[in-house]
Amino acid sequence: MIPDEMREIFEEFLVEARENLEKLETDLLELEKDPTNQDILNSAFRVMHTIKGGAGFLGLDAIVETAHKAEDILGKLRNGEIAFSDAINDLLLKAQDKIREYLEKAENQEELELDKELISELEDVLKHPEKYATTTTKEDEKHDDDSTLDPVSKLLKKYGFEHLIGKSIEEILEELVLMPPSERPEGLIKELDAIINASSPKAVDNVSQKKEEDIAKEMEKASANEDVKSAPNESAPKESPQTPSQTVEKKEPPKQAQPPKEKEEEKVLRIDVQKIEALMNLVGELVLDRNRLVKVVSTIMQSVSENNEQIKGLDDLESVLSSIDRIVGDLQVAVMKTRMQPVKRLFQKFPRVVRDLAKLLNKQIELITEGEDTEMDKSVLEKLEEPLIHIIRNSVDHGIEPPEERELLGKPRTGIIKLKAYYQGDRIIIVIEDDGRGIDIEKVKKKALEKGIISQDRLEKMTEKEVLSLIFHPGFSTADQVSEVSGRGVGMDVVMTTVMNFRGTIDIETQKGKGTKVIMAFPLTVGIIRALMVSIGNRNFAIPIYSVLEIIQQENATITTVSGEDVLILRESTIPLVNLADVLGISNSKIGYVIISQLGNQRVSFTVEELYGDEEIVVKPLGKIFGEIEGISGATITGDGNVVLILDLAGILKRISHNTRV
């Protein structure tokens, strides 16, 4: 339990520890690709040491103990005393997961109970590292037969220094001892010493003497560099420490001392998200009042113009209004940016997901991420993890083929999943793409009919895009068997719901045998949007502008009935037609315009009576009294002071589907 007086310190530790754990996971996954990378090993070691230190200060003993054992393993890995292997990395990742679990329990004021089994496993690595050595497969044995290697080459391979195989032992030792002290594999050097000791004492003497001289030089060089780094004023150089055998020349100070760089931490201010929300609400109110002021001034100007009047100060009022309009716009953008976060925070969770699923399914898969610096609203970012996991799981399980199957198809044994983000106008696009087997359209049709999701008559009239949209239906799955990973018919409907909740769109492109691409698009902001103002039966409504593809006047629209359903015929394409007046229960409404909207993979058209142009609006929730109403996403106050409901076209479509079979 964290005492109240330490709570603020704990909250700061919690944020930093979680960031460090994400960094650690990234490092450990990178090590699987490059086990000898000393920079990554050093980074992972430092992160674990930092977590241990912070937890120790707060008395979180279970975290300290777990981090301490993992830190010891990382220390031996970076010193070359233990060879990196998948088995060891699995345990390090397990320790990382356990620390994350401890953090959640500490945050909830729960007692932390040490996982003794995990501690025992970590200790076993330290005591018996040979048990966790990388095991070679039959495929590996074809290429790597250790029986033909000499003892020195075997050692180099064991410690990950295969690039030194073929050199003389003197050259090998010379290269190893010249490495920075923090990266020098002492375990390998000792074992090499033992080998050459037994074979040629004279050679050992020569190498050892050179080794001592080189180490002395390296220590002096490191000490001199350390002094320069730690000097408070670069224009006042310190003396470098001297070894008993040699002295180090003092370096001349630079002619002009450079001011010390400002620390990155000083540029970052952590602010409670509730304060940002409060500021966001105030900006929203300011935008509403700005809109009203614009409307009032516009009315005055029109009246003055019609009556040929002259009012003193009117020109100044118009100038001030223009300035306020610009400032409010800039303020709105600035506040919006405080809510924006890079998608890297989301993307960095998925390499581990792909790695674990690929191992479970015996597949070889590489995840490639692009556009990690793209920023999006924090509220959207936090809700996207679950939908993306569902899509990636499907790519791993259904999309990417096993290595042997890919080889027979002429594909690389390793499948590729790409996760990327980029801006497109006022939208943020997130794409998940794989080079797997693609979606079988005919199989989708067959499963949809079997599950009674759609009728044969309706299915025959659907385009390929509309057929693909069926996979978002609750309970739909093309899997013949339920696996540990997917196939239960839950997941893609969750994806669609999340996307729609944030006024986004989702599209699927697939090619059999080539792969599948899922494209999601979201608005840059969720609180303030542009909307098309419409009327239905003399009642005004707002429709988010991003969901509007096209608007057609009634006299130019071809409306007919197919299988008892109203449809719009547009450029030889049949689009379902929804009369909004009927759905909303509004009588005496005429059809003046038809609005075509893209909802997921499907295009749908909606009828309205009048259009009044677009306007920037602030989305306000309906509140606890009304709760959630299907088809209504909120309300806003327009420039003339009226309260207008915001229509959720996707929700309206869902409301209709509840009453009739698709």
Question: Which residues are CB-neighbours of 151 under 8 A, at least 6 positions away?
Answer: 195
Report the chain's terminal Cα–Cα distance, integer Å.
Answer: 54
Token look-up 């390090």 returns 92
In whole angstroms, give the CA distance from residue 325 to residue 217.
67
Catalytic residue among 16, 49, 366, 405: 49
Question: 54: exposed, middle or buried (C-beta count within 10 Å: 0-12, 13-18, 19+)?
Answer: buried
**Numbers of helices and strands, H then E, in the chain:** 24, 18
Identify the CA nearest to 516 among candidates 414, 348, 392: 392
SS3 content of the chain, % helix, strand, coil (to 5): 50, 20, 30
φ/ψ of 56, rounded to 5, equals -65, -40
Annotated active-site residue 390? The verdict is: no
Angle at which helix 201-230 crosses helix 169-177, to 10 degrees, equals 20
Distance CA 200, CA 312 (A): 105
Q: Which of 71, 220, 433, 615 is labelled catalytic? A: 71
Distance between CA atoms of residues 549 and 471, nearest Å: 23
Has 658 been annotated as catalytic? no
Residue/partner pairs of 46-52 with CB below 8 Å, 24 or more apart: 47/20, 47/21, 47/23, 48/24, 48/74, 50/16, 50/20, 51/17, 51/20, 51/21, 51/24, 51/99
Q: How far apart are CA 467 and CA 508, in angstroms?
A: 10
> What is the sign of the dihedral through the CA atoms of 352, 357, 360 and 361?
negative
Q: Which residues contact 184 (CB under 8 A, 6 or more apart)?
A: 79, 80, 176, 177
Q: Catalytic site residue 307?
A: no
Residue 71 · residue 55 · CB < 8 Å: no
Of 395, 406, 386, 401, which is closest to residue 432 (Cα–Cα)? 395
CA angle (622, 626, 632) in 5-degree steps: 55
Beta-strand (E) ranges in 580-631? 593-599, 602-608, 610-618
Residue 405 CB-density burial (10 A; 0-12 exposed, 13-18 middle, 19+ buried):
middle
* C-alpha–C-alpha distance, residues 354 and 439, integer Å: 20
Q: Specify the amino acid at residue 565.
A: E
Catalytic residue among 89, 394, 433, 615: 394
Between CA 233 and CA 257 the distance in angstroms is 8
The CA distance from 583 to 469, in Å, is 23
3-class SS of residue 220? helix
CB count within 10 Å of CB 637 equals 18
Active site residues: 49, 71, 394
